[in-house]
Amino acid sequence: MCLAIPAKIITKNGNLAQVDFGTAVLREVNVSLVKAKVGDYVLVHAGYAIQVLDEQEALETLRLWNEILQTEA
């Protein structure tokens, strides 16, 4: 119950989507809590997508890590 797992939206019909958790088996997930489109990655918890994963945000996080490491000589 505690885990939320990323999955890619393959098809979407209203509040339901078929998603791929990387196992090539598609599962149905409720996407009514997020604004997501086909091709987006979402975080899935107990059958509901709770967040759309933003690639730009992920890249920014990585950039910040590198910046922290480069400062403080």
Partner 1 sequence: MTEKAKFRDAKLASRVTDKIRCAAQSEPTIKICHVCGTHEYTITHFGIRTLLPSNIEVIAGPGCPVCIVPASEVDEAVELAQRGIVVTCFGDVLRVPGSEMSLLDAKAQRGDIRVVYSLTDAIKMAQTEKNKEFVFFAVGFETTSPSTAVEVANKPPRNLSFLVSHRLIPPAMKLLAEMKTWAWTGSSHQATSAQS
Position 38 contacts partner 1 (CB under 8 A): no
Q: List all residues 6 or more positions away from 35 whose beta carbon is below 8 Å from its beta carbon.
A: 52
Position 1 contacts partner 1 (CB under 8 A): yes
- Interface residue with partner 1 among 23, 24, 39, 69 (CB under 8 A) is 69
List beta partners, residue 29: 17
Position 68 contacts partner 1 (CB under 8 A): yes
| CA 24 – CA 1 distance, rounded (Å) | 22
Position 18 contacts partner 1 (CB under 8 A): no
Position 67 contacts partner 1 (CB under 8 A): no
